[in-house]
A and B are shown apart, each in its own frame.
Chain A
Amino acid sequence: MSDAAGTDALARTPLFVEHRALGATLVGFAGYAMPVRYGPGIMAEHTHTRTAAGLFDVSHMGQVRLTGDGAAQALERLVPGDIAGLAPWAMRYTQFTNEDGGILDDLLVTRSDDGLILVVNAACKDSDIAHLERRLDAGVDMTVLSERGLIALQGPKAAAVLERHAPGCAGLGFMTAGWFTADGADALITRSGYTGEDGFEISLAADKTAAFWRRLMAEPEVEPVGLGARDSLRLEAGLCLYGHDIDETTTPVQAGLAWSIGKRRRQEGGFPGAPRIQHELAEGPRRRRVGVLPDGRAPAREGTAVLDAKDNVIGEVTSGGFGPTAGGPVAMGYVAAEAAEVGRPVSLLVRGKPRPATIVKLPFVPHNYHRG
């Protein structure tokens, strides 16, 4: 059945053969043939990640290195995050913004020994690279690391498992990085991820990626996890998915990402859309991203209208589904700022019927990041 979805014309990650051997259901995602689920299904994969260790192929994401003396300053002209202040081996979440303060993509930036390493979304990587090429100064060199694979190992047992293969990595603090030897291969390992759990992302040469994946798969705590559970995990964790919860029409402030804009950048500006973002920081945005908890059992999907007590539309769900750990439906979306207070009763228009729900604080499941 794996070939039935017409995935033959799609690009393949270095782990394509592993996915097939594991019986994954493959789908087209951002031009790649990617596993949406493996044998046990999304629910089991989700729960396994929250209780043990889930292994994810994220090789479709873009990895880019910036080098040169002015690399941090040059990148700061494209993102509102504090990059110049990034300590060696520290990493930061930020966004490429446009002149209106909208979000072109979100990304992670790591300061390594040989420059800045950017990890960007698969669906945006071509446009991100073009954007960087156009906007970076002549003194900054960009290398697209297309010959590297990227694996995520996530969950409360991730550190114990990875330490067996890449000694020393368990000593990394949350959102820090380092080079390690992973079963003989050089690997840039970061203590990060997108599930709300403790975990790591491991970048290594494409031709070493499958062998390392198989070694992790051989560990008793580890099960493979597809895009389906990756989505339910990040939704429960209240994390944005580009193209759904954030896009060119949403600003970092509306999206609740103001925490990722440091004090110096707020004051100095100097990034695309700074006037609007600074105005929203000072005056508040007209709408805000919030958690929406349906009262009943019916999930509310992306695009569902959010209504006030008088059935006026006050917002829209941007991600919604079932949270296996939450044990019921969960959603997030944007509502008018004046309606964005926690505890406010609203309704969700699902299949033409308004159904009661409540505005809640995100995340739905507490983060379990490493606090070492």
Chain B
Amino acid sequence: MSGLKYSKDHEWVRVEGDIGTVGISDYAQEQLGDVVYVELPEVGKTVVQNEEAAVVESVKAASEVYAPVSGEVVEVNQALEDDPALVNGEPTGAGWFLKLRLSAPGELDGLMDEAAYADYVGGLGDD
């Protein structure tokens, strides 16, 4: 599970070639609780870093999922339509949201690696 880069909004991206797979972190799914619905963008849509790319809904509330990097949506995870709970069970695996063709790979440099993200999340409880 190495190679994930995280945003401060708790999304992750895993890059292979010029394609980045995007999802939400284990911390984020834990905070949300039971995921009951995921709204995914159309394939072909262009998303911009830190802007809304998808919506995830728990029993209680709807939350935006922001694109950790900019790019064009080339695939979405259809499995979430029938089984949104995959986001809770395997947030960084089968619970991925979408794949992007990166338009600005330099944005990756501004994201956190696993260790930095773990520190970041660890500090959130002390606010």
A interface with B by C-beta (< 8 Å): 1, 3-4, 6, 36-37, 41-43, 46, 228-229, 231-232, 297-299, 301, 321-322, 324, 329, 351
Chain A residues lying within 8 Å of B37, measured Cβ to Cβ, are 297-299, 322, 329
On whether the beta carbons of B39 and A232 are closer than 8 Å, the reply is: no
A43 to B57, CA, bound (A): 13
On whether the beta carbons of B59 and A298 are closer than 8 Å, the reply is: no
Chain B residues lying within 8 Å of A232, measured Cβ to Cβ, are 59
Chain A residues lying within 8 Å of B60, measured Cβ to Cβ, are 36, 42, 228, 231, 321
Nearest residue (CB) in B for A296 is B37
On whether the beta carbons of A42 and B57 are closer than 8 Å, the reply is: no
On whether the beta carbons of B34 and A298 are closer than 8 Å, the reply is: no
A297 to B55, CA, bound (A): 13
Chain B residues lying within 8 Å of A321, measured Cβ to Cβ, are 59-60
On whether the beta carbons of A42 and B59 are closer than 8 Å, the reply is: yes
Q: Is B61 an interface residue (CB 8 A)?
A: yes
**Nearest chain B CB to A284's CB is how many angstroms away?**
34
Chain B positions 54-70 with a Cβ under 8 Å from a chain A Cβ: 55, 57-62
Cross-chain pairs A/B with CB under 8 angstroms, 28 sampled: A4-B124, A4-B126, A6-B127, A37-B33, A41-B33, A42-B33, A42-B34, A42-B60, A43-B33, A46-B59, A228-B59, A229-B59, A231-B60, A297-B36, A298-B37, A298-B39, A298-B57, A299-B36, A299-B37, A299-B57, A301-B62, A321-B59, A321-B60, A322-B37, A324-B59, A329-B37, A351-B39, A351-B55
**Nearest chain A CB to B56's CB is how many angstroms away?**
11
Q: Is B51 an interface residue (CB 8 A)?
A: no
A36 to B36, CA, bound (A): 17
A-B pairs, 6 with minimum CB distance: A322-B36, A43-B34, A42-B59, A4-B125, A322-B59, A41-B33
**Chain B: interface size category:** 10 to 19
Known: A41-B34, A351-B39. 14 other contacts (CB 8 A): A1-B125, A4-B126, A6-B127, A37-B33, A42-B59, A43-B33, A43-B34, A46-B59, A299-B36, A299-B62, A301-B61, A301-B62, A322-B36, A329-B36
A294 to B124, CA, bound (A): 36
Nearest residue (CB) in B for A297 is B37
Chain B residues lying within 8 Å of A1, measured Cβ to Cβ, are 125
On whether the beta carbons of B59 and A297 are closer than 8 Å, the reply is: no
Q: Is B81 an interface residue (CB 8 A)?
A: yes
Chain A residues lying within 8 Å of B58, measured Cβ to Cβ, are 42, 322
Chain B positions 34-58 with a Cβ under 8 Å from a chain A Cβ: 34, 36-37, 39, 55, 57-58
Nearest residue (CB) in A for B88 is A41
A321 to B33, CA, bound (A): 14
**Nearest chain A CB to B53's CB is how many angstroms away?**
13
On whether the beta carbons of A297 and B81 are closer than 8 Å, the reply is: yes
User: Most chain-A CB neighbours within 10 Å: which of B36, B37, B39?
Assistant: B36
Chain A residues lying within 8 Å of B125, measured Cβ to Cβ, are 1, 3-4
Nearest residue (CB) in B for A328 is B36
**Nearest chain B CB to A208's CB is how many angstroms away?**
32
Chain A residues lying within 8 Å of B127, measured Cβ to Cβ, are 4, 6
Nearest residue (CB) in A for B32 is A41
Chain B residues lying within 8 Å of A3, measured Cβ to Cβ, are 125
Chain B residues lying within 8 Å of A301, measured Cβ to Cβ, are 61-62
Chain A residues lying within 8 Å of B124, measured Cβ to Cβ, are 4
Chain B residues lying within 8 Å of A41, measured Cβ to Cβ, are 33-34
**Nearest chain B CB to A7's CB is how many angstroms away?**
12
A41 to B59, CA, bound (A): 10
Chain A residues lying within 8 Å of B126, measured Cβ to Cβ, are 4
